[in-house]
Amino acid sequence: MKNILVLCTGNSCRSQIADGYLKHFARDKAAVYSAGIETHGVNPKAIKVMAEDHIDISKHTSNHVDEYLNIPFDYVITVCDNAHEACPFFPGNVERFHQNFPDPAKAVGSEEEIFQEFVRVRDMIKVYCADFVKQHLS
């Protein structure tokens, strides 16, 4: 089983969504963790947008990357440029991947427009995670 860490700035939206999809697609092929270089709490809109796709992340917590420094990760995936630049060193044979996704928490407009941005980003992350599992865990 592979260990995967998904890292973002606040571990509130993008990394939480990726965590949910990686667990969904990888099933028992990987242990998936998500963290931030800061902790902002799990965004309620991230929980809602994932529930729309039948994935429950309501029990997720916002964790700091330092909590996982002793886990031998096989893969570290940064999902925003800020986390990519601030990502700590992980010892061992760790493969690092980076894909910058827009931050849906920064969306402006009506409630509906903001939620549609969450849907758009969720769908981008879903495709990325499905492809990642297919390429690296199959």
Residue in 92, 90, 75 with CA at minimum distance from that of residue 132? 75
Task: Determine which one of 26, 80, 129, 133 is catalytic.
Answer: 80
**Cβ atoms of 15 and 79 closer than 8 Å:** yes
Residue in 45, 48, 54, 43 with CA at minimum distance from that of residue 21? 54
Active site residue 87: yes
* Amino acid at position 63, single letter: N
Active site residue 80: yes
Distance in angstroms (rounded) separating the CA atoms of residues 43 and 35: 14
Task: Determine which one of 5, 6, 8, 42 is catalytic.
Answer: 8
Task: Determine which one of 2, 3, 48, 87 is catalytic.
Answer: 87
Active site residue 8: yes
Catalytic residues: 8, 80, 87
